[in-house]
Each structure stands twice: as C-alpha cells, then as structure tokens.
C-alpha cells in the first residue's frame, strides 16, 4: 500500500489565499461611499435644533477627501450619497402627515443637485486653489435648488445651519450665499491643510502653494466673519415699538387642523383677550401692534360675519392693530392672506403670499398626481394664487414687513420687504401640520439668519410654536413652547439702514455662480488639453 503525506497527518495543500485581498478591494470601494453618506449625515447634525454648527466644517472636509482627484462620474455618485445622507434626515418632517412617499420623492430629486455639485467638485479638485472653485460650485448648486423645479426649494442651505455660529455676521455682508460660501470654503480648506500636512510628513517636502491655499481658505472666512460683526447692530434708528406675538395653539395636531378652523380662530382671539386682561390689570405692557400667525383665521372674515366679529372683538379688547393670517376667496382666487385689522376701522390692508408651497398650497402636474394618489388631490382641492407685491403694513407708525412661512427660505422674498420700507420683519407661520418635528426649529433658524442679513428685528408668530422674538443681531430674546397657548410682549428697535447684503441683493450669488462656471470651464479645458497631449 502506498502511503501519502496526508495519510500520516500532514495537511492537504492550501489553495492560494485570494479571499483577503478580494475583501480588501471591496472595502476600498465601499469606504468612499460610506464616507460620503456619513459626511452628509454630519452636515445634517450641524443643523437646528442642535447647536453643533461647527460640524459643517468636518462634513465638507470629509467630502473634499472623498471627491478630490476623482472622475466626474465618481463625483456624481459620491455627491448623490452625500445628498442622501444630508437630506433624508433633514427633510423627514415632510412625510409626517402624508407618509414616506412624498418625503422620499423630494429627497431623491433634491439630491440630484448635490450630485451635480459633487461631479463639479471632482472636476475642479485638480486645479490650483481648488477649495475656492469647489465652494463656489456648492453655492451654485444651492442657487439652482432655490429656483427649480416648481419655483425652487432652498430648504437646507448651509447658511441656515449657522444661526449659532461664528460665521453668522457674514450674512449682513452678502446674504446667505456669502455665509454659506465661507462655511464650505473653510471646510474644504481644512481638508487641504490636513492633506498637505500628511504629505509633508510622508515625503519630507512641504508643498508651499497648496499649504498656503489651505491655510488661507480657513483663515480668511474666519477673519472676514470677525470683521463683519461691525455690520451687526440692534440699535434703534427710528424709535421702538412694543409688539405682541400671539400663539393661540390648535385643538389637535396634523392636517386636520384645517377642519377645526373656527376653533383655531377662537383660540387666537381668546389668547389676545387674555393678554388684554393682563394689560388692564397692569401685569403686562400695552402692545402697539399685535401679530397673529398664518392660518389663524381660515374662515374668511370678509364674507363670514361671525369670524369678522371675533377678530374685531379681539382688536378692540387689546386696543391695537392686528395682523391676521387668513384664507380668503376673492374674484375666483384663493389667497393665503395677511389682513391688517384696525380696532376702529376693521380691515384696512392686505398682503397675499407670493411664494406658495408646491404640493401643499398648489398641485403642480395635478392630473399626473391625481392618477398616482387621489388623496393628494382631495387634500389640495383648489390651488392658491400668488400675490404680486411685497407686503409692508403701517402699524402704529412702524413699517412691518410680512414674510409668510415658506417665504422665509427665499432670499428675494425677505429682501424686497426691506427695500419696500420694512423697519421690522414678521414671519407668520403655521407648523401644526408637522407636529413636533424639527421643521419649526429649522424655520426659526432661517428667521435668525434673516435678522442679521437685513439688520432687522424679526417676530415669528406661529399657530402652535415655536413662536419667538429675534433681535437684529440674531439672538432669540423670547420664545414659546410647542403646542401651548401663549403670548410674547417686547419692545423692539425699528431700523431703516440697509446692510451691504440688502443693497447688493442677488449680486454676491451671481458672482459666486460665475466663479463656479469659470472653475468648471478651466477644468474642462485642462482635461481637453490633457487628452490631446496624450494623443500626440
């Protein structure tokens, strides 16, 4: 009998060990994708209600690490993952009452803009001073998101996560585009500093040009933000006015608050009358003006005598003009309207919301949406019409600019109230539909940025909270809780001077878009020259 080696206890021949290297290859391919999605999640965590604004910097540093030197196709895919990591949790409130379908559809569409930015950043990352081109591309992507589709959806601008941050004063210099550009530039610059430092340790050689670009990309935004503090002031320029912000609360959460319209109106009238009783008792200061939220009277007071009587009674009790949020049908049009209600004369002025919310206040592609989901068409039976003029109410001598809820996300909708004469800004809102989600805190942060951007006190009357009064320097001086009836009374400064951001308007954003286009053009031209040289 022949005895083999294996028969006396020796091991059988071991096949080549290919599995570990295969796993390493898969891991190497997965790591950039995981890092892109995780950095997007990190950017989300930097947003309110958390005060972790500084996390935006490492978020963009990691994004720079993931994208630098890659092809535009890889940049598109990794940018899309970054967009999903950021927008999926940020916008989850959009599905609170209507289910996950609309939320996921919105995120899938909006993340495409981030993917296009990712492709662009990958392309320009090979250029000198690439953090500048890359940060400008991010702002160009935000500019596109704010305009298309369906008149845009600027929610999630980087600037809106910086209400508690050191960069906030830059809003007064150039608005949300300059503020956002500074944050993104600083993040990409942070990565460049780390990259050049690691390279220097490995090779013993310092790439001075790259190191200088990285350091300046971090230092210049910080220095500019410190210098911009001189533009921020809460000094009264045109006297002061005592405002009362009324939060009446709603009977129940969710979309069905619309079916409880009379109860919502009664709640706001009751809270106003309660405040009037405190004024009469000497325990509260007499307000000069009173501000009610959006949808505080969804019963049209122009055609319903009972609603008119309730509002009129509240105005007489508090003895001050009230800005009332109503839903009004006029000349065959449905309008989301703010009504200036004088305690003696009744309704004397109106402002019609101009930036109405797609799929909430009107249905784009109604026939297609109805074929997919009949419930949606039944919820939005008639489209709201758009107003055409900025709203500035003269209330007890003060110019009060009206920016209704969703409009606060749009640069132009806030700015033109100031250029039209607003000495303070009111952002009447109705967040009851979104329950206790983060939406109300995200919107409140927008109002804080707008206060600094235009150097105006901002009031935020909300049906169910969080209502607030914001100083021109962005500080919240008073706020309510959520889903409680409450009122806030405070003397606020009236201001008429215009910040550079107000005067410049869209010019900073346009300049940054042109910078982004220049960077892309340079990257494309460099790629074409490189291919031609290779062919030769």
Among the listed residues 294, 438, 453, 509, the single catalytic one is 294
Structure tokens at 431: 């967040």
In this structure, the chain runs to a length of 536
Q: How far apart are CA 252 and CA 254, in angstroms?
A: 7
Four-residue CA torsion sign, 261, 266, 271, 276: positive
Biggest alpha carbon–alpha carbon distance for the chain: 119
225/234 Cα distance (integer angstroms): 18
Q: CB under 8 Å to 277, separation ≥6 — which residues?
A: none
Q: Residues near 100 by Cβ (< 8 Å), separated by ≥ 6?
A: none
How far from each other are the two terminal CA atoms of the chain, in whole angstroms?
A: 70
**Which residues, including other chains, have CB under 8 Å from residue 432's CB and lie 6 or more apart?**
250, 253, 254, 257, 463, 464
Q: 361, 405, 438, 453: which one is catalytic?
A: 405
What lies within 8 Å, CB to CB, of 413 at 6+ separation is 354, 355, 403, 407
Query: What is the dihedral sign for C-alpha 227, 476, 431, 265?
Result: negative
Active-site option among 157, 337, 353, 407? 353
Other beta carbons within 10 angstroms of residue 347's beta carbon come to 19
Q: Any idea which residue has 């009064």 for tokens? A: 469
153: which residues sit within 8 A by CB, 6+ positions away?
A: 106, 110, 145, 146, 358, 409
CB 496 within 8 A of CB 166: no
Q: Is 353 a catalytic residue?
A: yes
What is the residue whose two structure tokens read 């006015």?
241
At 244, give phi and psi (nearest 5°). Answer: -120, 125
Rounded CA separation 50/82 (Å):
20
What is residue 494's three-state secondary structure?
coil
CB-CB contact of 376 with 342 (8 Å): no
DSSP code string of 311-364: HHHHHHHHTS-EEEEEEEEETTEEEEEEEEEETTTEEEEEEE-SSPPBTTTB-T
Cα angle for residues 230, 235, 240 (degrees, 5° grid): 160
Give the integer Cα–Cα distance in Å for 447 and 159. Answer: 11
**Count of Cβ atoms closer than 10 Å to residue 3 Cβ:** 7
Task: Return the structure tokens found at 515.
Answer: 């910078």
In 10 A of CB 372, how many CB atoms? 11
Q: Which residues are catalytic?
A: 294, 353, 405
């Amino acid at each position: 009998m022949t005895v083999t080696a294996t028969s006396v206890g020796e091991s059988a021949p071991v096949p080549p060990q290919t599995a570990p290297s295969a796993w390493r290859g898969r891991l190497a391919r997965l790591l950039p994708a995981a890092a892109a999605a995780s950095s997007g999640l990190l950017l989300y965590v930097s947003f309110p209600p958390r005060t972790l604004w500084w996390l935006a910097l490492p978020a963009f540093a990691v994004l720079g690490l993931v994208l630098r030197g890659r092809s535009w196709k890889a940049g598109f895919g990794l940018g899309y993952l970054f967009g999903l990591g950021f927008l999926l949790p940020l916008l989850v409130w959009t599905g609170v009452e209507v289910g996950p379908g609309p939320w996921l559809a919105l995120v899938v569409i909006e993340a495409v803009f981030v993917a296009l930015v990712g492709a662009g950043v990958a392309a320009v990352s090979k250029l000198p001073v690439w953090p500048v081109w890359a940060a400008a591309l991010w702002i160009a992507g935000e500019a596109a998101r704010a305009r298309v589709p369906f008149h845009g959806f600027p929610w999630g601008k980087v600037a809106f996560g910086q209400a508690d941050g050191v960069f906030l004063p830059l809003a007064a210099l150039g608005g949300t585009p300059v503020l956002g550009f500074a944050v993104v530039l600083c993040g990409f610059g942070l990565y460049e500093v780390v990259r050049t430092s690691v390279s220097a340790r490995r090779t013993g050689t310092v790439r001075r040009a790259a190191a200088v670009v990285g350091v300046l990309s971090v230092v210049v935004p910080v220095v500019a933000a410190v210098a911009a503090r001189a533009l921020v002031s809460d000094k009264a320029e045109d006297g002061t006015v005592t405002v009362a912000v009324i939060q009446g609360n709603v009977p129940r959460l969710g979309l069905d608050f619309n079916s409880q319209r009379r109860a919502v109106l009664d709640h706001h009238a009751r809270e106003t009358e309660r405040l009037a009783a405190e004024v009469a008792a000497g325990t509260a200061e007499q307000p000069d003006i009173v501000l009610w939220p959006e949808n505080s009277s969804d019963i049209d007071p122009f055609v319903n005598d009972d609603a008119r009587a309730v509002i009129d009674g509240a105005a007489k009790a508090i003895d001050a003009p009230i800005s009332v949020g109503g839903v009004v049908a006029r000349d065959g049009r449905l309008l989301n309207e703010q009504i200036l209600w004088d305690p003696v004369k009744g309704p004397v002025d109106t402002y019609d919301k101009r930036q109405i919310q797609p799929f909430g206040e009107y249905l784009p592609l109604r026939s297609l949406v109805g074929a997919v989901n009949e419930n949606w068409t039944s919820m939005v039976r008639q489209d709201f019409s758009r107003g055409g003029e900025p709203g500035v109410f003269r209330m007890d001598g003060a110019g009060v600019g009206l920016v209704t809820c969703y409009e606060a996300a749009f640069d132009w909708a806030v700015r033109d109230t100031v250029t039209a004469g607003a000495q303070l800004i009111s952002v009447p809102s109705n967040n009851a539909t979104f329950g206790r989600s983060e939406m109300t805190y995200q919107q409140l942060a927008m109002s804080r940025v707008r206060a600094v951007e235009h150097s105006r006190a901002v009031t935020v009357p909300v049906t169910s909270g969080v209502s607030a009064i914001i100083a021109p320097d962005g500080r919240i001086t008073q706020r309510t809780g959520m889903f409680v009836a409450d009122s806030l009374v405070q003397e606020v400064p009236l201001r008429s001077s215009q910040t550079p951001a107000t005067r410049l308007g869209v010019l900073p954003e346009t300049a940054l878009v042109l910078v982004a286009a220049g960077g892309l053009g340079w990257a494309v031209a460099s790629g074409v020259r490189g291919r031609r040289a290779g062919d030769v």
